[in-house]
Amino acid sequence: MATASTLLPADIAADLLDFSDAEFAAAPTLDVHAREVRLLDSGFVGIAIAAQSQIHVDAQAVLPIAIAVRCDGERDWDLPLGDNCLLVATEMQSGRVSVVPALVPPKVLASRHQAQATRAGPVRPPADELAGYGAQIAWTEVRCRIDLPWRSSAWSFGLVHFDWVSNLVSVALEGGEAPRPDAAAPLSVNPQPAAGAPGLPSYLPGSRTPPMPSTPGQGVNFNIELDERGPAARLIVDAAFSTPARPHALVAGMTLPDGGQEQEVAAIVPVTLLLVGANAVHPWRRDLAVPVYGAPVQVGEPIEGCLSWDAFSDAPAPGPGEFACYLVLDGAIHGPQRIRVTR
């Protein structure tokens, strides 16, 4: 194992969450005490996950994800795992993203929908009394959390614990009903670019656009700027991304007016913005369908796009609080960037 100072979530997943298929199928009754002791001694700080890479749906009825967390007492007090652990699931054939609490029992969620979790009980102890570290291995069962058709499909999963992000795991479901080639509904650009003269939203590179990711087909660079000076708050998101062209994203014969000119659209890429609040059961989210301009491309080719957008322009701000901001694209979770909303 790497040294404690260099341990990444993927290291913990490989070394401490290396369960067999039979052990995954036995979760959460599996005895993990010895692994928790090793996790506590590891020196790792963060959150990691693991899952089976392949599941035959005719032989297994569950999709469990193992979660390993090691943090100090202050974080555990301020951000208890149960109220701050979000499962981010992407169906790769369609780009559809689901974001749900990973550990709050489903029956409890029904009575807490869109509610802020509050900590009742004693006053927060002094920092020196919370300085020690704790470790935990927990489980979440995906089929209890999201609408996941039990048939051949490909999924990407990650966890967000406020401003911590886990590694990603890919799971291929095999067997059952084969998905139809047209199962993914065609995307429509959302929001539409500003008509006429340059304005927001825009999907053209500009002076505020971050550099494009250095590796073609991999990544997002983005900036978030909160402006509360006017009568209405603005949250300006500027992003540049490079991603593989997926079948559900390709379009042909489409043009859009953007920047005062007609632009040829090669693809429409689903992107999700998440604002994750501390101790909030559900995140504030916006789902976008971002056009990529240029000549037609083939499936699998890297495509590059840009985004400049006021996320509060057509949706109410989430209210006061600290937020960790993420962009979800092609099964990956990018961020966080931190903001404080005061009104």
* Rounded Cα distance, 323 and 177, in Å: 40
Residue 186's pLDDT is 74
* Rounded Cα distance, 38 and 218, in Å: 33
Mean of the pLDDT values across residues 124-137? Answer: 82
* Rounded Cα distance, 323 and 317, in Å: 12
CB distance 333 to 326 below 8 Å:
yes
Residue 281's pLDDT is 86
- Is the pTM higher than 0.85? The answer reads yes
- Give the dihedral sign, CA 21/22/25/31: negative
| pLDDT at residue 179 is higher than 80 | no
- pLDDT tens digits, 254-271: 999 998 899 999 999 999
CB distance 237 to 224 below 8 Å:
yes
Closest CA to 226 of 138, 145, 321, 123: 321
Residue 116's pLDDT is 47
Other Cβ atoms closer than 10 A to 234: 16
For residue 114, name the pLDDT band (cuts at 50, 70, 90).
Answer: very low
Half-sphere CA count of 208, side-chain side, radius 13 A = 16
Pairing between β-strand 169-174 and β-strand 153-161 as defined by DSSP bridges: antiparallel
- pLDDT tens digits, 90-103: 999 999 999 999 99
Helix (H) or strand (E) holding 48: strand 46-50
| Domains of the chain and CATH, by start | 4-174 (no CATH), 220-341 (2.60.40)
Residue 129's pLDDT is 67
| pLDDT at residue 121 is higher than 60 | no
Residue 177's pLDDT is 76
- Across the beta sheet with 64-72, the strand order is 46-50, 64-72, 133-141
Kindly report the average pLDDT of the chain as a whole number: 91
